[in-house]
Amino acid sequence: VTAALSLLLGAALALPGDLWPTALLARIGRSFSETDPEFGADLGFFVYWLPFETELYYWAMLLLLVVIGVVILLYALTPSLRWTRGSLYVSAYVRRHFTMLGGMLLLALAWSYRLGMYRLLVEGSGPGGTFTSLDHRVTVPATLVLALLTLCAAVVVLWAGWSGQMRLAFFSVSAVLLLSLIARTVAPLIARRSIDPDATERQERPYQGSRLDYTRRGYGVVER
C-alpha cells in the first residue's frame, strides 16, 4: 500500500507542465551584458533564471509538505506514533525520521531567504514596495547571513537526526528562529531609528535615480 501510494503521489506531484517553458528559458536565456546596480547580477538572471528558481522552490515546498503529511499519516497507523495514557508516544525511529524531515524544512527555509533577497527589489520597505538604502545595506546582508546560517543549521539538524542527537537538533532550530527574528525585524528597526532623516534623504537619491532611469527605459522615454 505504501509503495502504491508513493507511485500515485509521485505522478500527481511531478514537475508541472507549465514550469517547463520557464525551465527552457532559464536554460537558453542569453546574457543582457548589463548588471543591476544593487546586486551586480546580469539582468538576464532576473528575466530568465530567477522566475524559474522561484517556481521550482514553490513546487519543492509543496512536495516536501505533502511528503511530511503522508509520513505522519502512515506512522499514525502504526504503534510507533500513537496517543496513549493521555500523552503522545513517539518511538525513537519516528523521532529520528521527523528530525531529518525538519532538516529538509530548514534547507527549504535557507532557500527562501536567498530568494527573499532578490524579492526585496519589488517588495522593499519603501513607499509602494520600493527598494531603499536600508534594504540594500541592512536587510539584504542580514538575509544573506541568515540564509547561510540556516543552511549550516540544516546540515547540523540532519546529522543530529541521523545520529539521534535530538537535543542538538532542538537547539539548532531554536537558534535559527531567534536569528530570523533578529535579522528580519530587530536589525532593520534599529537601523531605521539610528539614521538621521537628512542622511536618509541623501542616501535614497541614487535609488530614486535608478528607479527613474529604468522606468524611462521601460516606457521608451528619452530625456532631453
Is 0.95 surpassed by the pTM of this model?
A: no
Phi, psi at 33, each rounded to 5°:
60, 35
pLDDT in tens, 68-81: 998 888 888 888 88
Q: Residues 88, 157, 177, CA angle at the centre, nearest 5°?
A: 85
Which pLDDT band, with edges at 50, 70 and 90, does 103 fall under?
very high
Q: What is the pLDDT of residue 224?
A: 59
Q: What is the pLDDT of residue 6?
A: 82
As a whole number of angstroms, the distance between CA 47 and CA 43 comes to 6
Residues across the chain: 224
* DSSP assignments along 103-135, one per residue: HHHHHHHHHHHHHHHHHTTTS-SSGGG---HHI
Check pLDDT > 80 for residue 57.
yes
As a whole number of angstroms, the distance between CA 46 and CA 204 comes to 23
Check pLDDT > 70 for residue 223.
no
* Strand, helix or coil for residue 39: coil
As a whole number of angstroms, the distance between CA 191 and CA 134 comes to 8
As a whole number of angstroms, the distance between CA 208 and CA 201 comes to 10
CA 61 to chain centre: 10
Q: What is the pLDDT of residue 204?
A: 83
As a whole number of angstroms, the distance between CA 142 and CA 181 comes to 11
The set of residues, in sequence order, having a beta carbon less than 8 Å from that of 99 and lying 6+ positions away, is 157, 160, 161, 166, 169
Check pLDDT > 80 for residue 197.
no
